[in-house]
Structure formats: C-alpha cells, structure tokens
C-alpha cells in the first residue's frame, strides 16, 4: 500500500494497533474508576436503621376486653378519665347469670336443709336406740334375777317347773331384744348422708361458677391510670376480640413498636431507638424522641396479612407532651455498614 497523503493537513487515521491500545487504556480507566468508587463506598461506614411503627404508651399499660360475649348496658368511664385498679368500667347484661346464681343458691339451700333434716333424724335414731338399749339391758337383768328367784322357789317347792320355763323364755326374749338393738345398722343412713353431702358440695361449686360468670359481666380496670375508650355504645354486643379500653398508668414512657418480621432477627435489647410522633412531623423541624430497646416479645404476630414482632422501648419525652396512644414512626440502630451494603440492604 502507498502512504496516506493529505493536502489540507489532517492527521492520518489511527492504525489498528493504535485503536486497540486506546480501547485498552479506556477500559483500564473505567475499571479503575469503578474499583475506586467501590472501595470508597466500602470504606465509608454509615449507620443501619430498621424501620418500626407503633404508638406511645406507659410502663403500666393494659388492654381491656370483654371476657365473654355480651350486650353493654352501662358505661361508667370515658376517654381521659383517671381510674384506680378495680374500678368498674362497664357492665354487660347479666339477667341470665343472676337467674342462674339464684337457681343454684336455691338448690344449695334445699340440699343443706335436707342434709340438716337427715342428720337430725339420724341423731334422733341414735338417741332412741341408746334409750332402747338401756331399757333392754334393765329388762334382761330383771328377767335373769326373776329366773334365779323362781328356781330357788322351785327347789323349796313353792314354784312349778312351768313358772321356771316362763321366766327362762322371758330371759331369752330379753337377750334377743338386747342383741338386736346392739346390732342395729345405721350404715345405710350414713351413706345417704354422704350422698347428700356430696350433692351439696357439687351444688356449692355450681354456685361459685355461676358467681364467677356473673362477675365476668362487670368489667373492671386491671391497673390504675388514664383510660382511652374505644368506640362502643350502650346496647352493642361486644366480643372478647374487641379492645374496649386502653389504660395508661405508671411514670415511665414507653413506645410499643412493631418490627417487620424480615428485620426481627436484627433487633436486640439495648439498641438505640429514635422515633417521631406522626402528629409532630414537619418538613422544617423534626422533633425526635430517643430511647432504647427494653424488651422484645418472643412470638411473631400476624395482622392483616403482615407479620411482625412487638418490642417495647423506654424513652425520654423531654419537654414535648406525648399523649398516650399517639402513633409514632421509629428507626432502630442495628449497626453500621458500608454505603453499598446499606443501599442494597445486604
């Protein structure tokens, strides 16, 4: 081939070897730059947070539910009221339970009266038997002495053998009567008393169960504190799965948070937590509540197709009033990792 010549002064086109060298240099710098960026991202460590959501509560907290299905007939407290432990919150219809208690108590009174009557009757039988045995003993002693006198008179010729036979018969009859009274069996009456006593105890247990069922119709506060009443009304039929009240008591402020199950294994007691109330969120200013993980519930729970683990985090509210039950979004610091691991959630 001949040489390339130009009359306008352009550079000659690059040869194949020059193009390959340029491409290799470009690839080298691209790879170098990528490795440098990757190394830079691996060296820079950033905090890793796990998201959680929940609400503010207190150290002494309780959810109040109806222990049985029933119709509300009376509501004693509304949201914001301060209650003591044991105060009545609401009452359910208890007409059927009162009737059951009255019927069971009536059966107890009947069994108790029957038991008392049978015991008195048996005591009277024992007393009468004792008296009869005493009379039979006296009669037998008299018959024996009379027989001795009759035999002495017969030896002197003052009594006949017929008199002796009659007195002997009287002795035998007295002995038979004394023996019969001594062998009188009261075991049947005692067994009847035992049966009635067992029936009475069974009836008393029925009364106790009926009273427990009646007491379940009166729902009281399990802890002292300020109540938050959920929506229900007089005449509504409530179920055990319905939360009727929440009671917030105690001096310590606590966040009750739900952590998605995918992050549950990363949570440990003592990890720092920061949270923000949804009512106080602002684009210009954010107020954070700071605390740490205090307790972790072992069980994984499910609700609405989502699975989560509940954790409790004591926190310091500072100067910001935190109403119990206020919703909050939180971030839990679970460690530090590189930028790339943080971005790709590795």
Fold for the domain defined by 46-93+221-343: OB fold (Dihydrolipoamide Acetyltransferase, E2P) (2.40.50)
Q: Residue 102 CB: number of other CB atoms within 10 A?
A: 12
- In this predicted model, what pLDDT tens digit does every residue of 9-29 receive, in sequence order? 566 676 777 778 888 888 888
DSSP 45-90: EEEEEEEEEEEEEEEEEEEEE-SS-EEEEEE---TT-EE-TT-EEE
Please state the domain extents for the chain. Answer: 46-93+221-343, 97-215
Across the range 319-337, mean pLDDT stands at: 82
Residue 346, pLDDT above cutoff 60 = no
Q: For residue range 256-291, what is the model confidence (pLDDT) as tens digits?
A: 899 999 888 889 999 999 888 887 655 455 678 889
Query: Which pLDDT score is estimated for 193?
Result: 82
Instruction: Give the Cβ contact number of residue 337 at 10 Å.
Output: 16
DSSP string across 153-186: HHHTTSS-HHHHHHHHHHHHHHHHHHHHHHT---
DSSP state, residue 118: H
Report the chain's mean pLDDT, rounded to a whole number. Answer: 84
Residue 185 pLDDT > 90: no
Write down the pLDDT at residue 92.
Answer: 94
Residue scoring higher pLDDT (101 or 41): 101
pLDDT of residue 283: 46
Helix (H, G, I), strand (E, B) or coil at 94: coil
The 3 state secondary structure assigned to 194-253 is: HHHHHHHHHHHHHHHHHHHHHHCCEEECCCCEEEEECCCCCCCEECCCCEEEEEEEEEEE
> Is the pTM higher than 0.75?
no
pLDDT at 74 exceeding the cut of 90: yes
Helices 95-155 and 161-182: crossing angle in degrees, nearest 10, is 160
Region 174-189: mean pLDDT is: 78
Question: What's the pLDDT at 282?
Answer: 56
Q: What is the C-alpha to C-alpha distance for residues 139 and 170, in angstroms, rounded to an integer?
A: 9
């Amino acid at each position: 081939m001949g040489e390339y010549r130009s009359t306008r002064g352009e550079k000659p086109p690059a040869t194949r070897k020059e193009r390959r060298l340029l491409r290799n240099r470009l690839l080298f710098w691209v790879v170098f730059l990528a490795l440098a960026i990757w190394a830079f991202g691996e060296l820079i460590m950033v905090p890793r947070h796990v998201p959680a959501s929940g609400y503010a509560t207190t150290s002494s907290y309780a959810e109040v539910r109806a222990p049985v299905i029933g119709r509300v007939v009376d509501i004693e407290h509304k949201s914001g009221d301060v209650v003591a432990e044991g105060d009545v919150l609401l009452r359910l219809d208890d007409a059927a339970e009162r009737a059951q208690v009255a019927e069971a108590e009536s059966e107890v009174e009947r069994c108790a009266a029957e038991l008392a009557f049978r015991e008195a009757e048996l005591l009277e039988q024992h007393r009468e038997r004792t008296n009869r045995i005493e009379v039979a003993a006296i009669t037998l002693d008299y018959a024996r002495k009379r027989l001795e006198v009759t035999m002495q008179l017969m030896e002197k010729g003052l009594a006949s053998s017929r008199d002796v036979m009659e007195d002997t018969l009287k002795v035998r009859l007295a002995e038979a009567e004394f023996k019969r009274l001594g062998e009188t069996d009261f075991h049947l009456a005692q067994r009847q008393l035992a049966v009635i006593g067992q029936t009475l105890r069974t009836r008393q247990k029925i009364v106790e169960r009926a009273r427990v069922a009646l007491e379940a119709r009166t729902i009281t506060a399990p802890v002292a504190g300020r109540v938050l009443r959920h929506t229900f009304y007089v005449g509504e039929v409530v179920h055990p799965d319905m939360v009727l009240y929440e009671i917030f008591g105690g001096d310590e402020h606590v966040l009750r948070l739900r952590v998605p199950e995918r992050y549950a294994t990363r949570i440990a007691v003592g990890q720092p937590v920061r949270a923000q109330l949804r009512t106080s969120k602002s684009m210009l200013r954010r107020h954070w509540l700071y605390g740490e993980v205090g307790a972790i519930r072992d069980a994984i729970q499910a609700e609405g197709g989502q699975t989560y683990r509940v954790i409790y985090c004591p926190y310091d509210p500072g100067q910001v009033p935190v109403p119990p039950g206020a919703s909050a979004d939180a971030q839990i610091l679970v460690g530090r990792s590189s930028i790339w691991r943080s971005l790709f959630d590795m």
